[in-house]
């Protein structure tokens, strides 16, 4: 019988980073991945010569001394082919045909936005100073195992919308502009904690980067490091049972019937999916199961991956967010009407370096519940109605973008599409949710989970706990391993 110090369920970013931390600390670690390919939402796929990302598009906070830089220095990821976006416009926000630029750096950001809203110049300085303070302090705060006092602060209990509304005297135009990159999270006007809004926006304003060749390079580099340090990563090993013994979890069983034993276990899959693998438990009460399984998840994304005709569309060293005349904070309401009112456009970065783009991704939010009728189906076998839906959605998205970028239509060579079901099946994301469990500032202690579970040697990690995204998951992996008693020294 082979035994490990720790077994990790799932090889998404959080699972691989936990494996790295544990292997680096001398633990014998094994990662079990149900699919053929590791990486979760970091996975890429190739169509012709074009490489497309599934869930990764750009990162924030990678400059020297910034939080993600410290983390990626620890994880030995700084030597990947990172590419800095345009300092003076890393994000372009287009609302009802009017363009606004997000500049990199807090002072630069405030200066550029003030050029559109000179009467809010002083309050924009207050806003960016607040973002800067969040960026400098939240990483240290989230490493604390006892976060109850922190979670009672205004940063967590106040809604992001209420903060903006109060600071800018209810001015809808500047609130829309400052919220223009909100497709990176679900901008629910009633529930989104100020912490989520501030930390994510702050990290990208501090510095924004693309990765040439796609996010899979992160997963492959982490996996290589884990193996070099003696860790194991086993693919096509779907965990079908988490079995308890006298002192907690004793082993996990995979689809082949094989059992893997360890002293500790980490789940990098959705908490509800984790609990579904535990049939009977002396530790987990029904009320805990009910609470976890009833938590609301964020919306999903419909993505059109577009291969472009050669040397037709100029490469843009920034992302573009386009909205119709609907307020940004009401995008959620429009999902019920199957309307497209907001999209994110991300340009792929390849090796040609000739000034033209070879591919772009267009993403728009959709409700995961809209795919209930196809939820039992498998990839490539979902039926004619599903294929018709995807074609119509892709056409609507290209038409929507074409109002503001008329040159796009003539540049399209081939369109590939994915829905929340695609994300679910390829990345094991619960119901295809883009950002995991929805955080609620009105019920924070229930929706922001800790790595510890009622079972003493079972821990959780990943985007469903504290904060989603590359930075959020990286911070959470550190928190998870610290809760297991692992000493981690970030320079």
Structure token digits, residue 190: 């009633």
Is residue 170 included in any domain, yes or no? Answer: no
Strands 342-347 and 359-366: antiparallel
**Mean pLDDT over residues 106-129, rounded?**
97
Is residue 343 included in any domain, yes or no? Answer: no
Is residue 333 included in any domain, yes or no? Answer: no
Contact 367, 299 (CB under 8 A): yes
Q: What is the pLDDT of residues 209-223, one digit of tens each?
A: 999 989 999 999 999
Residue 374 has pLDDT above 80, yes or no: yes
152 pLDDT band (50/70/90 cuts)?
low
Residue 429 has pLDDT above 90, yes or no: no
Distance, in Å, from the CA atom of 374 to the CA atom of 365, rounded to the nearest integer, reads: 18
Residue 151 has pLDDT above 80, yes or no: no
Specify which residues 93 forms β-bridges with. 100, 321
Distance, in Å, from the CA atom of 263 to the CA atom of 387, rounded to the nearest integer, reads: 46
Among 73, 181, 142, which residue's Cα sits nearest to residue 451?
Answer: 142
Distance, in Å, from the CA atom of 11 to the CA atom of 224, rounded to the nearest integer, reads: 13
Which of 114-118, 303-307, 394-398, 427-431 is predicted with the least confidence, judged by mean pLDDT? 427-431
Residue 149 has pLDDT above 60, yes or no: no
- Cβ neighbours of residue 220 under 8 Å, at least 6 residues apart? 38, 39
Is residue 279 included in any domain, yes or no? Answer: yes
pLDDT at 139: 62
- Cα distances from 328 to residues 78, 110, 182, 347, in angstroms, run 34, 20, 8, 22
Where residue 221 sits, what CATH number does that domain have?
A: 3.50.50.60
Is residue 256 included in any domain, yes or no? Answer: yes
Structure token digits, residue 37: 């390919």
Task: Read off the DSSP letter of residue 296.
Answer: P
Q: How far, in whole angstroms, is CA 242 from its chain's centroid?
A: 26
Distance, in Å, from the CA atom of 113 to the CA atom of 110, rounded to the nearest integer, reads: 5
Q: Is the dihedral of CA 108, 111, 116, 117 positive or negative?
A: positive
What phi and psi values does residue 266 have, to the nearest 5 degrees?
-125, 130
Q: What is the pLDDT of residues 37-87, one digit of tens each?
A: 999 989 988 887 778 888 899 999 999 999 999 999 999 999 999 999 999
Is residue 157 included in any domain, yes or no? Answer: no
Residue 423 has pLDDT above 90, yes or no: no
Residue 333 has pLDDT above 80, yes or no: no
Query: What share of the chain in percent tops pLDDT 70?
Result: 97
Torsion from C-alpha of 294, 340, 59, 292, nearest 10 degrees: 0
Residue 148 has pLDDT above 70, yes or no: no
Q: What is the CA radius of gyration of the chain?
A: 22
- Cα distances from 92 to residues 103, 180, 181, 406, in angstroms, run 9, 9, 9, 17
**Mean pLDDT over residues 95-113, rounded?**
96
Residue 146 has pLDDT above 60, yes or no: no
Half-sphere exposure of 99 (CA within 13 A, CB side): 9
Q: What is the pLDDT of residues 268-286, one digit of tens each?
A: 999 999 999 999 899 999 9
Residue 156 has pLDDT above 70, yes or no: yes
H-type helices in 117-259, by residue range?
A: 121-142, 148-151, 154-157, 160-167, 172-178, 194-206, 216-228
Number of domains the chain contains: 1
Is residue 385 included in any domain, yes or no? Answer: no
pLDDT at 141: 57
Residue 91 has pLDDT above 70, yes or no: yes
Domain of 19, in residue numbers: 3-46+59-80+213-295+439-483
Q: What is the pLDDT of residues 446-488, one digit of tens each?
A: 888 999 999 999 999 999 998 889 999 999 999 999 999 998 8
pLDDT at 150: 54
Is residue 466 included in any domain, yes or no? Answer: yes
């Amino acid at each position: 019988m082979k035994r490990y110090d720790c077994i990790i369920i799932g090889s998404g970013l959080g699972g691989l980073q936990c494996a790295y931390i544990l292997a680096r600390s001398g633990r014998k670690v094994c990662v079990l991945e149900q699919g053929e390919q590791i990486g979760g939402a970091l996975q890429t796929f190739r169509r012709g010569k074009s490489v497309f990302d599934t869930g990764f598009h750009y990162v924030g906070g990678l400059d020297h001394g910034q939080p993600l830089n410290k983390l990626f220095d620890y994880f030995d990821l700084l030597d990947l082919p990172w590419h800095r976006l345009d300092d003076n416009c890393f994000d372009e926000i287009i609302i009802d045909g009017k363009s606004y630029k997000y500049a990199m750096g807090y002072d630069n950001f405030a200066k550029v936005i003030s050029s559109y809203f000179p009467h809010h110049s002083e309050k924009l300085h207050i806003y960016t100073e607040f973002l800067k303070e969040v960026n400098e302090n939240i990483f240290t705060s989230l490493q604390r195992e006892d976060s109850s006092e922190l979670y009672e602060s205004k940063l967590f209990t106040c809604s992001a919308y209420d903060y903006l509304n109060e600071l800018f005297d209810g001015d809808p135009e500047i609130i829309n502009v400052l919220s223009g990159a909100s497709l990176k999270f679900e901008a629910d006007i009633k529930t989104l904690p100020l912490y989520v809004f501030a930390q994510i926006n702050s990290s990208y304003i501090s510095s924004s980067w693309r990765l040439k060749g796609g996010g899979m390079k992160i997963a492959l580099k982490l996996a290589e490091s884990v193996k070099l340090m003696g860790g194991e990563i086993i693919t096509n090993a779907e965990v079908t049972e988490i079995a308890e013994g006298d002192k907690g979890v004793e082993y996990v069983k995979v689809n082949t019937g094989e059992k893997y034993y360890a002293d500790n276990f980490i789940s990098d899959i959705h908490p509800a999916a984790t609990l579904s693998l535990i049939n009977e438990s002396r530790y987990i009460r029904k009320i805990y199961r009910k609470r976890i399984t009833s938590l609301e998840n964020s919306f999903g994304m419909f993505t059109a991956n577009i291969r472009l005709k050669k040397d037709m569309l100029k490469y843009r060293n920034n992302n573009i967010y386009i909205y119709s005349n609907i307020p940004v904070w009401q995008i959620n309401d429009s999902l019920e009407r199957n309307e497209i009112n907001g999209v994110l456009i991300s340009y792929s970065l390849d090796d040609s370096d000739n000034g033209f783009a070879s591919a772009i991704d267009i993403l728009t939010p959709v409700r995961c519940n809209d795919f209930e009728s196809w939820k039992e189906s498998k990839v490539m076998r979902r039926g004619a109605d599903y294929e018709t839906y995807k074609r119509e959605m892709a056409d609507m998205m290209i038409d929507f973008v074409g109002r503001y970028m008329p040159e796009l239509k003539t540049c399209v060579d081939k369109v590939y599409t994915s829905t929340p079901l695609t994300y679910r099946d390829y990345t094991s994301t619960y119901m295809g949710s883009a950002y995991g469990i929805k955080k609620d500032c009105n019920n924070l202690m229930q929706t922001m989970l800790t790595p510890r579970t009622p079972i003493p040697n079972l821990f959780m990690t990943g985007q469903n706990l504290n904060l989603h995204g590359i930075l959020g998951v990286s911070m959470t992996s550190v928190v998870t391993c610290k809760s297991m008693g692992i000493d981690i020294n970030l320079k």
